[in-house]
Homo-oligomer: A and B are copies of this chain.
Amino acid sequence: MQYAAVKDVLAGQYSAGETVTVRGWVRTRRDSKAGISFVNVHDGSCFDAIQAVVPSDLDNYSSEVQKLTTGCSVAVTGTVAASAGQGQDFELQASSVHVYGWVEDPDTYPMAPKRHSMEYLREFAHLRPRTNVAGAVTRVRHCLAQAVHRFFHQHGYYWISTPIITTSDAEGAGELFRVSTLDMQNLPKDDKGQVDYSQDFFGKEAFLTVSGQLNVEAFASSLSKVYTFGPTFRAENSNTSRHLAEFWMIEPEVAFADLNDVAKLAEDMLKFVFKAVLDERADDMAFFAERIDKQAISRLQHVIDNDFVHMDYTDAIEVLQNCGKQFDYPVAWGVDLQSEHERYLAEEHVGAPVILKNYPRDIKAFYMRQNDDGKTVAAMDVLAPGIGEIIGGSAREERLDLLDKRLREMDLPAEEYSWYRDLRRYGSVPHAGFGLGFERLVAYVTGMTNIRDVIPYPRSPKNADF
- Give the chain B neighbours of A465 by CB distance below 8 A: 167, 419
Interface string of A1-45 (1 = CB under 8 A from B): 001010100000000000000011110000000000000000111
- Give the chain B neighbours of A129 by CB distance below 8 A: 218-219, 221-223
Task: Assess A202 versus B127: contact at CB under 8 Å? Given A71-B426, A111-B426, A456-B215.
Answer: no
Q: How many residues of A contact B (CB 8 A)?
A: 106
- Give the chain B neighbours of A420 by CB distance below 8 A: 126
**In the complex, A231 Cα to B233 Cα: how many Å?**
13
A187 interface contact, C-beta 8 A: yes
Give the interface segment out of A81-89, A178-186, A339-347: A178-186
Q: Which residue of B lies closest to A111 (CB)?
A: B426
Give how many copies assemble into the complex. Answer: 2
- Give the chain B neighbours of A225 by CB distance below 8 A: 44-45
Mark out the residues of chain A between 165 and 182 whose CB falls within 8 Å of any chain B CB in the assembled complex. Answer: 165-168, 175-181
**In the complex, A110 Cα to B73 Cα: how many Å?**
61
- Nearest Cβ on chain B to A124's Cβ, whole angstroms: 8
- Does the CB pair A419–B44 fall under 8 Å? no
Q: Which residue of B lies closest to A163 (CB)?
A: B457
- Give the chain B neighbours of A233 by CB distance below 8 A: 164-165
- Does the CB pair A194–B185 fall under 8 Å? yes
- Does the CB pair B224–A44 fall under 8 Å? yes
- Does the CB pair B126–A218 fall under 8 Å? yes
Binding site for B on A (CB under 8 A): 3, 5, 7, 23-26, 43-45, 71-73, 75, 100-104, 109-111, 125-127, 129-130, 135, 138-139, 141-142, 145-146, 149, 153, 156, 158-168, 175-181, 184-185, 187, 194-195, 201-204, 206, 208, 215, 218-219, 221-225, 230-231, 233, 235, 237, 245-246, 248, 255-256, 398, 419-420, 422-430, 455-457, 459, 461-466
CB-defined A-B contacts under 8 Å, sample of 17: A23-B255, A25-B427, A71-B426, A72-B427, A103-B427, A104-B425, A126-B218, A126-B423, A127-B426, A138-B223, A162-B456, A167-B465, A176-B181, A178-B184, A201-B237, A206-B464, A219-B456
